[in-house]
Amino acid sequence: MTRPFQTIVQRIVLLMCIILLTACGEEKQAAAPQAPPQGSASEKIEGTIVAVGDSLTAGYGLSEEQAYPALLENRLRQNGYPFNVVNAGISGETSSEARSRIEWIMSLNPDIVILGTGANDGLRGIDPALTRENIDAIVTYLNSQGVVVVLAGMKMVKNMGREFTESFEGLYPAIAADKNAVLIPFLLKGVAAEPSLNQPDGIHPTAEGYEKVTDVVYPYVVEAIERFRGKAG
Catalytic residue numbers, as ranges: 55, 201, 204
Using alpha carbons only, give the angle 61, 62, 67 rounded to the nearest 5 degrees: 120
Cα–Cα distance, 179 to 143 (Å, whole number): 8
d(CA 91, CA 9): 52
**Is the torsion defined by CA of 28, 34, 39, 41 positive or negative?**
positive
Beta bridge partners of 149: 113
**Contact predicate 188/57, CB 8 Å:** no
Cα 201 to Cα 127, 144, 198, 204, 211: the distances in Å are 24, 38, 7, 7, 18
Residue type, position 141, single letter: Y
Cβ contact 169:156 at 8 Å: yes
- The rounded Cα 160 to chain-centroid distance in angstroms is 27
Phi, psi angles (nearest 5°) of residue 97: -70, -35
